[in-house]
Amino acid sequence: MDNFETIEVNTDLLIVGGGMAACGAAVEASYWAKKNGLKVTLVDKAAMERSGAVAMGLSAINTYIGIKDGANSPEDFVKYVRNDQMGTVREDLVYDIARHVDSTVHLFEKWGLPIWKDEKGNYVHEGRWQIMINGESYKVIVAEAAKSALGMDNVYERVFIVNLLTDEKDPNKIAGAVGFSVRENKFYVFKAKAVMVAAGGAVHIFRPRSTGEGFGRAWYPPWNSGSSYATMLQVGAEMTQMESRFIPTRFKDGYGPVGAWFLLFKSRATNAFGEDYLQTQAEEIKKWEPYASAKPVPTPLRNHQMITELREGRGPVYMRTEEAIKKITDTTPGTDKDKKKRLKELDSEAWEDFLDMTITQAGLWASMNISPEEKPSEIMPSEPYFIGSHASCAGAWVSGPADIAPKEYTWGYNRMSTVQGLFTAGDGVGGNAHKFSSGSCTEGRIAGKEAIRFIKDHPEAPTIDPKKIDTLKEKTYKPLKTFEQYKTLSSDSNINPNYIKPKMFLFRLNKIMDEYVGGTSTWYTTNKPMLERGLELLAMLKEDSEKLGAENLHELMRAWENYHRLWTAEVHLRHVMFREETRYPGYLYRSDFPKIDEANWKVFVNSKWDPQTGNWQMSKKPVVKIIQ
Ligand code: SFD
Ligand code: AMP
């Protein structure tokens, strides 16, 4: 332990994470902090310019309401999201994003993000809520704004947060966080009056479709490993909708997005016989009324149509890129020259869609000799992910905006969890889908401002037991010690009777989740006995987590990432077990409860782990309809 220097940082607000939500929080909180003489500090496990889900950039901003242009209202957006998520969203939170998100998009543009414009100067829409951007440098632009608001002395990059800290005098009040540098021998203790956790969602909980040479290729960023969920759970924060995993339909193997093809290019997707599966499976989704009649059809139900088609043996399913491009070119007014020019534009738009946000897919097209104007491309439902910002709802149970949230959803500060002074945003907030990049940044701004208000009302300094810090430091570096102690007992450092390497641990976790908790190998299907067996196996993996071994600081990060994944896996399993219905077909099937049950399960499922007793508590919370 002497090799690892302890560095103590005292601050008022600590922001954990440097992604879209954290950057929004940094900009907004710094503004209000300056007015009140307070300090804001941000800690990211990576370098902010390229950290989080937007690392590679994006080609569209998926949440823009267009209130000023009269295009849509916040109420319209709530109705859309409510239907898409099969009735179960926190309407107060969704409404709050909708009324503020446009201003965040305007800030992005002010900071330098190029947004596509038509000849009249209006934003070019991909779909009703989505606008097109030249977004390769999206994250660089947003991170720059966050860094200049914070000041570089208040930014800690490449520091992985392992645990949150609670107050010695009040175990339900936040007091800071501890973490370690992934590059230097430095252990960090951040003491804070409020903490905002925005460490993204969770990838690689389930065995991915990518194996062998493709392993590590995933849709969502592989470096988001469930830290938001695990760290908040471990200090007793209540979670909601952790059964809500997201199964994105993506271009096969490269995970390229489909939105631009379905919405902007109006492409069809057809089965092996050239039939549109939305038509062949039109009857099938009627079992999930009233949601099946919604327009657009909810994302889980669209997935269900494709999954049913594949299960019934009519795969592969193809995105008909060549057909869509031909149709647009043929209907372009003007001469042959005009049509040719349009074809060229479409070709570059199609490639840019991938190059702006999923470069691997462009690489795959090139290596497979695919020209989208000539050949269709396979699409596929991928493995499950955990996020609170796309078409899914996993995250913490937070207090809502006082002016619109019903009493069941309010306890003081907007976006504060059930732990005093612990805020979250973006993928960390549950029950609030379809925020995407712009909504996550907006939610960060809301949470950041409210956290400063909390600090003003609760100015007392946190008290932390120094013995607790020593224990956490010991625990943080234990995998390095375990490896050193036993490394000579085997000739292959990956295999040893006394420790488990992070990669092996990950494989075991992935296998358990895939086989028992509804991964791709069972077409997302599970039942009570399977879940019970899965829980037994997870308990054994938890025992073995004590024996994680790490060869260097990089592997130490991998060890802690996987520990956070394990907690995310367990809370997910418990939620799936508790919800005795199939509410989100296309995401998850309970074979023992294959139908939707509006009478008993149109509710939120919440969970809480008690740090004092180690017991889990599951509960139902009401879904309150606010927008008629
Ligand atoms: O096509 C720790 N997203 C899209 N949003 C859009 O608006 N348009 C799109 O086109 C989108 N698409 C898309 C998207 C994401 C990805 C990966 C692809 C395509 C391929 C979604 C958004 O990106 C997403 O909603 C937001 O980024 C969510 O924001 P946030 O802040 O909740 O998460 P983050 O940005 O991933 O940041 C997480 C941060 O936490 C850090 N971190 N730091 C310290 N300690 C730890 N233990 C930590 N663990 C994690 C990370 O480094 C990062 O800084 S499309 O598919 O729809
Ligand atoms: P994706 O590329 O799948 O992440 O989608 C980008 C955006 O388009 C998200 O807002 C999706 O909800 C939306 N979207 C994608 N496909 C469809 C579709 N077939 N119908 C309606 N909305 C879609």
How confident is the model over 50-68, as pLDDT tens digits?
999 999 999 999 999 999 9
| Same domain assignment for residues 287 and 393 | no
Residue 45 contacts residue 22 (beta carbons within 8 Å): no
The DSSP 8-state label assigned to residue 262 in this structure reads I
CATH code for the domain of 602: 1.20.58.100
Region at 274 (left for phi over 0; alpha for psi -120 to 50; beta for the rest) = left
Is the model's pLDDT at 100 over the cut of 80?
Answer: yes
| DSSP codes of every residue in 472-484 | HHHHHHHHHHHHH
Task: Read off the pLDDT of each residue in 304-317 and give the average, rounded to a whole number.
Answer: 97
Report residue 100 as tokens.
Answer: 């503020």
Is there a domain that residue 25 lies in?
yes
d(CA 516, CA 105): 41
Q: Is residue 31 part of a domain?
A: yes
Is the domain of 389 the same as that of 451? yes
Mean pLDDT of the chain: 97
Are the C-beta atoms of residues 130 and 263 closer than 8 Å to each other? yes
216 and 167 fall within a common domain:
yes
Range 264-280 average pLDDT: 95
Tell me, what's the pLDDT at 69?
86
Distance (angstroms) between ligand 1 centre and the Cα of 315 equals: 31
Span from the CA of 130 to the centroid of ligand 2 (angstroms): 9
Contacts of 200 (CB under 8 A, 6+ apart): 17, 19, 52, 53, 221, 224, 227, 228, 387, 426, 427, 428
Q: What is the pLDDT of residue 215?
A: 87
How close is the Cα of 20 to the center of ligand 1, in Å? 6
Kindly give the number of the ligand 2 atom that is closest to the alpha carbon of 391: 12
Ligand nearest to the CA of 297: 2
- Would you please indicate which residues are annotated as catalytic (active-site) residues? 62, 126, 219, 250, 353, 390, 437
Last residue of a domain, one of 381, 415, 435: 381
Q: What do you get for the CA distance between the two ends of the chain, in Å?
A: 59
For residue 101, being part of any structural domain is answered with yes
Tens digit of pLDDT for each residue in 145-166? Answer: 999 999 999 999 999 999 999 9
Mean pLDDT of 548-560: 98
- Decide if pLDDT at 1 tops 80: no
Answer yes or no: do 198 and 105 share one domain: yes
Question: Which ligand is closest to the CA of 180, given by its number?
Answer: 1
Longest dimension (CA), the chain: 79
> Token digits for 52?
């989080």
Confirm if 199 and 17 have CB atoms less than 8 A apart.
yes
Give all strands (DSSP E) within 209-254, no chain letters. Answer: 239-240, 249-251
Boundaries of domain holding 228:
5-244+385-457
In a domain, 353, yes or no: yes
Look at residues 330, 356, 381 and tell me which one is the last residue of a structural domain. 381
**Cβ-contact 581, 214 below 8 angstroms:** no
Same domain, 210 and 100: yes
Written in H, E and C, the secondary structure of 22-85 is: HHHHHHHHHHHHHHHCCCEEEEECCCHHHCCCCCCCEEEECCCCCCCCCCCCHHHHHHHHHHHC
Residue 153 falls inside a structural domain? yes
Domain count, the chain: 3
58 and 165 housed in the same domain: yes
Ligand 2 contact via 127 beta carbon (within 6 Å): yes
- Quick one: pLDDT at residue 193? 98
Q: Are strands 174-181 and 159-166 parallel, antiparallel or unpaired?
A: antiparallel
Question: What mean pLDDT do residues 339-364 have?
Answer: 92
